[in-house]
Amino acid sequence: MQRMTSVIDSRTAIRVSSTLNRDVKAYGKHFLTDGNDETCWNSDQGTPQYISMDFSPRSVLVSELRIMFQGGFAGKECKLVGVADHRRPEEEQWEDLLNFYPEDSNSLQVFPIKEGASKQPWRKLRVIFLNSTDFYGRVTIYRLEVVGEANG
């Protein structure tokens, strides 16, 4: 069995709900996965905020979600949803994989995926931040990892 690592790579199309002041050079989505804990994605204000990942044409098996927030700008009530690999594009439907409630801290937090969802191949994933510890709904993330295995 191969080592479980983040399935997000250069082929993964990432979209975010917003970027603070549209300043993608300072706070863009590319900082989510650059491996540098000094850089971050920072959303603009408002809720909900989200991060979408499209692995097409591959699919991924997911065992855990890892996120490092900036304290004061963490998601409070969050969910991970996905589109199963067996669906045709015209049948695309988002399914709940995980509801999670992060701590308001700067540490890397790990959220295991429940058994049934971890055995299902997913083509798309979306992390939704329904609200935030920030009064204005902003979210700041230094690191995002989806741990599992990629097929293809």
Low-confidence stretches of the chain (pLDDT < 70) are 1-4, 87, 89
- What tokens does 51 get? 């991060």
CATH value at residue 110: 2.60.120.260
Three-class SS state of 131: coil
pLDDT digits (tens, 9 = 90+) for 74-106: 999 999 999 998 767 677 899 999 999 999 999
pLDDT of residue 86: 76
Residues of the domain holding 132: 5-151
pLDDT of residue 115: 85
| Residue 10, Ramachandran bin (φ over 0: left; ψ between -120 and 50: alpha; else beta) | alpha
Specify the number of domains making up the chain.
1
Question: 10, 16, 54: which is closest to 140 by C-alpha?
Answer: 16
Burial class (CB in 10 A: 0-12, 13-18, 19+), 43: buried
